[in-house]
Amino acid sequence: MGSAAAVASGMVDFALGTQTAASIIRPASFCGIYGFKPSFGSVSVAGVKSVAPSLDTIGWFARDPATLGTVWSCLTSRPTERMPSRPPRVALIKTDQWGACGPDATRAVVAMASDLRRRQAEVELVELPAELIGLADEHRVIMAYEAARSLAFEHRNHRNRLSHVLCGLLDEGRTTDPTTYDAVRRRITDARLRLATTFTRFDAILTPAATGEAPLGLQSTGDPRCGRIWTMLGLPSVSIPHSTGATGLPVGVQLVGAEGADGQLLSLASWLATTYA
């Protein structure tokens, strides 16, 4: 959240962050800036204190997609890609978290679909593949199980210095049956294979970035449900500022790309940004 706020306020041009559930995409939406979570494993996590090794991903924030691309090139030594030569093909997927999103979030996605169509993009409403139904709700199984092992030293020796929320997660992870964890991992593999067929037809998936505006107060950093499934699948995703909600706070949308198609997704974000230039 601090990295996103620093970028949004103009203190820095870009800032790094990490995403284990939705900690790049969600704060970018709340702050009205761009946030990028690359494909899992494409950016080294050396030096990062791990929470859930199969989920933890380095990402970053910027006020424009060109800067996202520059950081991507610097961190991966890959060249930035030119903007697409044709209008993109986009799948609008209402995941099983759609019903939990507020009207500000769903309205932004529908409006973005209209914006894309006005620019001659092909946008098709696509049903959530069966292999993905309910998968986001099992994110906690993976996160708790792995966190209990990554943070075992802290949990055992400094429990009184950890928050009740974190201790609860670690306690849960310690008692999670390994066969339950393994079953969710197999579901993730099946979902990746199924979703790969979607990307043979589409360049990106359009979906909510967050459930709505940033929550009031300091008790919560917001609901991460809109980012969980894409983090579990290891897919690149970008939060794009779009509109404001009922109280005037920013609301973004999320584009998700195929695994390894990070450059293509960033070029699509740049193409789309010209809509609002």
pLDDT beyond 60 at 277 = no
For 104, counting Cβ atoms within 10 Å of its Cβ (0-12 exposed, 13-18 middle, 19+ buried), the class is buried
Write out pLDDT tens, residues 112-163: 999 999 999 999 999 999 999 999 999 999 999 999 999 999 999 999 999 9
pTM of this prediction exceeds 0.85: yes
Identify the three-state secondary structure at position 158.
Answer: coil
Express each pLDDT in 66-124 by its tens digit: 999 999 999 999 988 888 888 999 999 999 999 999 999 999 999 999 999 999 999 99
Contact between 251 and 210 (Cβ < 8 Å): yes
Instruction: Tell me which residue range forms the domain holding 14.
Output: 2-273
Say if residue 275's pLDDT is above 80: no
Question: Is 69 in contact with 267 (CB distance < 8 Å)?
Answer: yes
Query: What tokens appear for 209 in the block?
Result: 């970035």
Those residues whose C-beta lies under 8 Å from the C-beta of residue 242, and which sit 6 or more positions away, are 108, 111, 112, 251, 252, 253
CB 62 within 8 A of CB 71: yes
Burial class (CB in 10 A: 0-12, 13-18, 19+), 131: middle
How many structural domains is the chain composed of?
1
Tokens of 65: 């997609």
Check if the beta carbon of residue 98 is closer than 8 Å to that of residue 60: no
CATH number at residue 264: 3.90.1300.10
